[in-house]
C-alpha cells in the first residue's frame, strides 16, 4: 500500500527542489505568504505554551511541527469556503482568517473564542474526535445543493480514523459526491498511542480506496507538497468532482497538551531526524534566492507586535458575563432557564 | 379524544397519527424549500412505518433523501446542513437506534448555539418512533426521552394525537433550535381524529388537559395518553374524578399546567413507559414539589416501566404500565 500512495514531495529536507520544473509553480508572493503564516502561527503557538506555563491561559494543545500542513492547507482555501477544525488546528484557523485575540480567548475558556470574524465560515474546534468530519460533509453538501462552488475542509488526526464518524463521513461524501476535503494530519501519535498501534494499515490515504475517494499522501512538512495537492483537491471539489482524502504525514514535536508528558510514552530521540518544516522552508528560500534578511526581520517584528497586542487585548478583555451562561442555549430562553437565571442573578446581587 | 377543533369553518380530514406526521412534513416541505427529509428508507420505501409515504414522489429524491444506514452520519451531516441554511428533518428509524448518534446530538447539535454565542445554530428536527407494545423485535421499543430532556440545548416533544402530531411537527421544523420529535408508534394507527388540512401549529412547551377532573391529576404523554384516559373513565365509575394531562412537550415542560391542576386536585400520579430511576417522572415530582407542595393531600405516585431493559415482546405487557397498575396508583393517592 505504501507503494500505491507514494509520499508527494516538492522540496527535500535540505530545501532542494525534488523536481526542478516545480520551480515554475513557485513565485515570491507564495513563498513570502507561506513563510509569514508559518512563522506567525509558530510564534503564536510558542506564546500560547508560555502563557499556559504562567497560568495566563488554560490547558493548550500545541501544534508545533505541523505548520506546513496547516498553512499549506488553509492557504489553498477560498474566501467563502468552510473550515472545520480540531483543537489542534488553530494554526490553520488563524491562517484562514480567525481572529488572534479570540483564539487566545478560546484557550482562556471564553465563549467569544469560538466566534469567527463576520462572514468567515470557521466552525468552533471539535473536541470529540472525528465528529466534525460529518459536519464538513453536511455543510459542503449544503453548498452543492445551493449550486455554489464553495467547499468544506475537515481537519483531523491519525487517531480520528479509528472512529466511526470518519468512516460515516467519507461514506456520505462518497455517496452524495460532496465537495469536501478530508485533511488528515498524521502526526504519529494520538496522545500516547503511536500510528502502528492505532491501525494495521500502512497509510491513512489507502482508507479512501474503500470509498472510491481520490486519496493522496503528502509530506506534511513540505509546505509546497501540501499546498499543491490541496489546490488539486479544491479544484476537483469546486468543479463537482467530489471529495478528496489527503494524508499529510507530519510530526507532533511537542506534547499532546500542556498537561501531557510525552517522555512517558515516546522513546527518547524518536522524531529527532524530522527536519522542522519552517527550517526546511527557510533552506529552500535561501537555496532558491527568496531569502531576504529585511523581509524576515520585518515579518518577525510584525508578528511579535501582533501577538503582544492580541495577548494584551485578551487579558484586558471584559470579564465573562454571567448572563452568557444562560442566554445562548436556545434562541429564546424557556421558562425553566429564565427562572434558574433570575434566581442565580438575584443571589449574586445579594438579594 | 378531546377535539382541538374549535372553528367549524376549518377544512379537516379524519386521519391517523402517522398520516398526520406525513401531512405535517408535506406541509412544511411545500412551504419552505430549505426543508429536507433524511433517513434510512424514507424515500422510495416511504419509511418503514410509511411516515414519509409518497413524499419523495412529490418533492424528489433531492429533498427526501435515502441515506446510508448510518445514524451518526444522518445526524452529523444534518448538523452541517442546518448550520449552512437548511432545515433537515432527520428520521431515526427507531429510538432504540438513536444511540450511535447520541454523541453528535449531545456534543454538537445541542451546543453549537451556545459555543458560538448564536453565530451558528442547528434548526433541525430528529424524528424517532418510540415505545413498546407493538411486539417489535429487540431494541425497537425503547423510551429514551430522559436521555434528551437531561441534555441542555434540545427541545423534546411527544404528540399523542393526530392533531398534535401535525401541529407539533410544523412547530418543531419552524423552531430555531434542535427538536427531538418522539412518535408513539403504538398510536400510529390506533385511532383517527379530525385534523386541519392546511397549515397550523401547536406551541412547543404547552401541555393540554385531556380530561377535566377534581380528585387526582394524572400526568402522562405519548402512547400512555389514550390508556390513561381509559383508566380515568374506569376510575370515574369507581367515583374518583381524574384530570388527565398530556404534556405534549417534555422539554421545556409546561410547569404551569401541572401546578394549576395539582393545586386543584391535591393528588398526582405520573405515568410513563420509560424506566423509573432517572425517568422524567422524577422531574415532574420536583416540579410539583417546587410549585404545589403545600397543596398535596398524598405523596405523589409514579407508575412507570421497571428499571430493566425493555424486554422481549413476550414480556412487554408486564413491563408497560397496565390499567391495573395505574388504577392502583390512583387508589393509593386517594386512600392515603
- A203-218: average pLDDT: 98
Do the interacting molecules here have an ipTM over 0.90?
yes
**DSSP sequence for A15-78:** S-BSSGGGGGG--HHHHHHHHHHHHHHHHHHHHHHHHHHTTSS------TT-HHHHHHHHTTS-
Q: What 8-state DSSP symbol labels residue B243?
A: E
Question: Grid coordinates representing B234?
Answer: 374506569
Residue A1: pLDDT band with limits 50, 70, 90: confident
Q: Which chain B residue's Cα is nearest to A125?
A: B115
Contacts of residue A116 in chain B, CB cutoff 8 Å? 119
pLDDT value at residue B1:
46
Per-residue pLDDT tens over the stretch B210-246: 999 999 999 999 999 999 999 999 999 999 999 999 9
pLDDT value at residue B9:
80
Residue B28: pLDDT band with limits 50, 70, 90: very high
- What are the structural domain ranges in chain A? 20-320, 321-351
Taking the Cβ of residue A82 and every Cβ of chain B, the question of whether any pair is shorter than 8 Å is answered with: yes
Please check the confidence at residue B319 and state whether its pLDDT lies above 80: yes
Taking the Cβ of residue A166 and every Cβ of chain B, the question of whether any pair is shorter than 8 Å is answered with: no
CA distance A137 to chain B (A): 6
pLDDT value at residue A209:
98
Taking the Cβ of residue A116 and every Cβ of chain B, the question of whether any pair is shorter than 8 Å is answered with: yes
Question: Grid coordinates representing B121?
Answer: 445554530
Contacts of residue A83 in chain B, CB cutoff 8 Å? none
Per-residue pLDDT tens over the stretch A216-266: 999 999 999 999 999 999 999 999 999 999 999 999 999 999 999 999 999
Q: A with B: how many residue pairs have Cβ under 8 Å apart?
A: 135
CB atoms within 10 A of CB B336: 11
pLDDT value at residue B7:
53
CA distance B189 to chain A (A): 32
Fold of A20-320: Rossmann fold (3.40.50)
- B256-277: average pLDDT: 98
Question: Grid coordinates representing B91?
Answer: 428520521
CA distance B334 to chain A (A): 30
Please check the confidence at residue A96 and state whether its pLDDT lies above 80: yes
Please check the confidence at residue B2 and state whether its pLDDT lies above 70: no
Q: Which residues contact B291 (CB under 8 A, 6 or more apart)?
A: B255, B258, B259, B262, B263
Burial state string for B102-122 with b = 16 or more CB within 10 A and e = fewer than 16: bbbbbebbbbbbbbbebbbbb
CA distances from A292 to A285, A305, A349, B16, B118 (A): 9, 20, 59, 77, 45
Please check the confidence at residue B5 and state whether its pLDDT lies above 80: no
Taking the Cβ of residue A98 and every Cβ of chain B, the question of whether any pair is shorter than 8 Å is answered with: no
Which of B37, B40, B75, B80 is the mutation pick for testing A, counting most A CBs within 10 A? Answer: B80
Between chains, do A165 and B76 touch, taking CB under 8 Å as contact?
yes
Phi/psi at A310 (5° precision): -65, -40
Phi/psi at B247 (5° precision): -65, -35
pLDDT value at residue B4:
55
- A187-200: average pLDDT: 97
CB atoms within 10 A of CB A351: 7
- B265-274: average pLDDT: 98
Q: Which residues contact A16 (CB under 8 A, 6 or more apart)?
A: A283, A284, A287
Using CB atoms, which residue from B68, B108, B252 is nearest to A335? B252
Contacts of residue A82 in chain B, CB cutoff 8 Å? 84
User: Domains of chain B, with CATH numbers?
Assistant: 12-196 (3.40.50.970), 208-334 (3.40.50.920)
CA angle in degrees (0–180, nearest 5) for B111-B204-B75: 40
Between chains, do A145 and B62 touch, taking CB under 8 Å as contact?
yes
Mean pLDDT across chain B, nearest whole number?
Answer: 96
Beta-bridge partners for B157: B181, B249
Q: Is the distance from CB of B88 to CB of B38 less than 8 angstroms?
A: yes
Mean pLDDT across chain A, nearest whole number?
Answer: 97
Per-residue pLDDT tens over the stretch B53-98: 999 999 999 999 999 999 999 999 999 999 999 999 999 999 999 9
Amino acid at each position: 500500500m505504501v507503494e500505491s500512495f507514494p509520499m508527494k514531495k516538492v522540496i527535500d529536507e535540505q530545501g532542494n527542489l525534488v523536481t526542478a520544473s516545480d520551480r515554475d509553480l513557485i513565485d515570491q508572493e507564495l513563498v513570502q505568504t507561506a513563510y509569514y503564516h508559518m512563522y506567525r502561527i509558530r510564534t503564536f503557538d510558542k506564546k500560547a505554551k508560555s502563557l499556559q506555563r504562567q497560568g495566563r491561559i488554560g490547558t493548550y494543545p500545541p501544534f508545533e511541527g505541523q505548520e506546513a500542513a496547516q498553512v499549506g492547507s488553509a492557504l489553498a482555501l477560498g474566501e467563502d469556503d468552510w473550515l472545520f477544525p480540531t483543537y489542534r488546528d488553530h494554526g490553520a484557523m488563524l491562517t484562514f482568517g480567525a481572529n488572534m485575540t479570540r483564539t487566545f480567548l478560546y484557550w482562556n475558556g471564553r465563549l467569544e473564542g469560538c466566534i469567527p470574524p463576520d462572514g468567515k465560515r470557521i466552525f468552533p474546534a471539535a473536541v470529540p474526535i472525528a465528529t466534525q468530519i460529518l459536519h464538513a460533509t453536511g455543510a459542503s453538501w449544503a453548498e452543492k445543493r445551493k449550486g455554489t462552488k464553495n467547499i468544506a475542509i475537515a481537519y483531523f488526526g491519525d487517531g480520528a480514523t479509528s472512529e466511526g464518524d470518519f468512516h460515516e463521513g467519507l461514506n456520505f461524501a462518497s455517496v452524495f459526491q460532496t465537495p469536501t476535503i478530508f485533511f488528515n494530519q498524521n502526526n504519529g501519535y494520538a496522545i500516547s498511542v503511536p500510528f502502528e498501534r492505532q491501525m494495521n494499515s500502512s497509510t491513512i490515504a489507502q482508507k479512501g480506496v474503500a470509498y472510491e475517494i481520490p486519496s493522496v499522501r503528502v509530506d506534511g512538512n513540505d509546505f509546497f507538497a501540501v499546498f499543491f495537492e490541496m489546490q488539486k483537491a479544491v479544484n476537483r471539489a469546486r468543479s463537482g468532482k467530489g471529495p478528496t482524502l489527503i494524508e499529510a504525514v507530519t510530526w507532533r514535536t511537542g506534547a499532546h497538551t500542556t498537561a501531557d508528558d510525552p517522555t512517558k510514552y515516546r522513546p527518547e530521540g524518536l522524531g529527532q531526524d524530522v527536519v522542522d518544516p519552517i527550517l526546511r522552508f527557510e533552506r529552500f528560500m535561501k537555496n532558491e534566492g527568496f531569502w531576504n534578511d529585511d523581509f524576515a526581520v520585518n515579518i518577525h517584528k510584525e508578528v511579535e507586535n501582533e501577538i503582544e497586542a492580541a495577548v494584551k487585548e485578551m487579558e484586558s478583555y471584559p470579564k465573562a458575563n454571567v448572563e452568557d451562561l444562560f442566554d445562548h442555549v436556545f434562541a429564546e430562553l424557556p421558562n425553566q432557564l429564565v427562572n434558574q437565571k433570575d434566581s442565580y442573578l438575584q443571589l449574586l446581587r445579594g438579594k | 379524544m378531546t377535539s382541538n377543533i374549535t372553528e367549524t369553518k376549518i377544512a379537516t380530514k379524519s386521519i391517523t397519527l402517522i398520516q398526520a406526521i406525513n401531512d405535517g412534513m408535506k406541509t412544511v416541505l411545500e412551504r419552505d424549500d430549505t426543508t429536507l427529509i433524511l433517513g434510512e428508507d424514507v424515500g422510495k420505501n416511504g419509511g418503514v412505518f410509511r411516515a414519509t409515504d409518497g413524499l419523495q414522489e412529490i418533492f424528489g429524491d433531492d429533498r427526501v433523501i435515502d441515506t446510508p444506514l448510518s445514524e451518526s452520519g444522518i445526524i452529523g451531516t444534518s448538523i452541517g446542513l442546518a448550520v449552512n441554511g437548511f432545515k433537515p428533518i432527520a428520521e431515526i428509524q427507531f429510538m432504540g437506534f438513536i444511540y450511535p448518534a447520541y454523541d453528535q446530538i449531545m456534543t454538537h447539535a445541542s451546543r453549537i448555539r451556545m459555543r458560538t454565542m448564536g453565530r451558528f445554530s442547528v434548526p433541525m428536527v430528529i424524528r424517532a418512533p418510540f415505545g413498546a407494545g407493538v411486539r417489535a423485535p429487540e431494541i425497537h421499543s425503547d423510551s429514551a426521552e430522559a436521555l434528551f430532556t437531561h441534555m441542555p440545548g434540545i427541545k423534546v416533544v411527544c404528540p399523542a394525537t393526530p392533531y398534535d402530531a401535525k401541529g407539533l411537527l410544523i412547530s418543531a421544523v419552524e423552531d430555531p433550535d434542535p427538536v427531538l420529535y418522539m412518535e408513539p408508534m403504538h398510536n400510529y394507527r390506533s385511532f383517527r381524529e379530525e385534523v386541519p388540512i392546511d397549515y397550523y401549529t401547536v406551541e412547543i412547551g404547552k401541555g393540554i388537559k385531556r380530561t377535566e377532573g377534581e380528585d387526582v391529576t394524572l400526568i402522562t404523554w405519548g402512547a400512555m395518553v389514550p390508556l390513561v384516559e381509559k383508566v380515568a373513565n374506569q376510575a370515574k365509575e369507581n367515583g374518583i374524578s381524574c384530570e388527565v394531562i398530556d404534556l405534549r412537550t417534555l422539554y421545556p415542560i409546561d410547569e404551569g399546567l401541572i401546578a394549576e391542576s395539582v393545586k386543584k386536585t391535591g393528588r398526582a400520579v405520573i405515568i410513563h413507559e420509560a424506566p423509573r430511576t432517572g425517568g422524567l417522572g422524577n422531574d415532574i415530582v420536583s416540579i410539583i414539589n417546587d410549585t404545589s407542595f403545600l397543596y398535596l393531600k398524598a405523596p405523589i405516585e409514579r407508575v412507570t416501566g421497571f428499571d430493566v431493559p425493555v424486554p422481549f415482546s413476550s414480556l412487554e405487557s408486564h413491563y408497560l404500565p397496565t390499567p391495573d397498575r395505574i388504577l392502583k396508583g390512583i387508589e393509593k393517592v386517594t386512600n392515603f
